[in-house]
Amino acid sequence: VWVANDNAPGQVVVAGTPAGVEAAAAAAKELGARRPMPLKVAGAFHTPLMQPAQAALDAALDAAASAGAFSEPQLQPWANCDAGRHDRPAEWRELLSSQLCSPVRWREQILAMTGDGVDTFVEVGPGNVLSGTVKRIAPDARRAAAATPDEVEGLRAQLRG
């Protein structure tokens, strides 16, 4: 098993073979973890077990790059594979490629963002799992969530106002 996601204090996701994950959960419980639980996912994402899919992903990223898909950003993009800000489009193809087999460093990314002056986080999509982790990592940050296009528009107007 490998650490696949460092989500927040007290929340780390491991991924690997089913037997490895089961053994890791048992060991975590013995070490005092309150509630190790399996997640229903389709694969061991963000681990070396995804390596067989790397060539296909890289080919798709190469095609996107050749088509000019990566351009100058209007906002500051951050990558959770290295918890850093990347303003140069030339870096994005490699960063997206590394997402497949690299752990998600969400906790580090939120800390880096708040350290860089980011004080508002907006979660777009169903649920508010990410907003909950932001609350645990950066309790003073403003958080908002929007699940529908109308909610996104309303939130956009609210944040600009």
Per-residue pLDDT reduced to its tens digit, 87-130: 899 899 999 999 999 999 999 999 999 999 999 999 999 989 99
Which residue blocks in 3-148 are alpha helix, DSSP H? 18-30, 54-66, 92-99, 106-115, 129-137
Give pLDDT tens digits for 31-74: 999 889 988 899 899 999 999 999 999 999 999 999 999 999 98
Give pLDDT tens digits for 9-35: 989 999 999 999 999 999 999 999 988
Q: Is the pLDDT of residue 158 over 90?
A: no
Residue 75's pLDDT is what? Answer: 85
Q: Dihedrals φ, ψ of 17, to 5°?
A: -70, 155
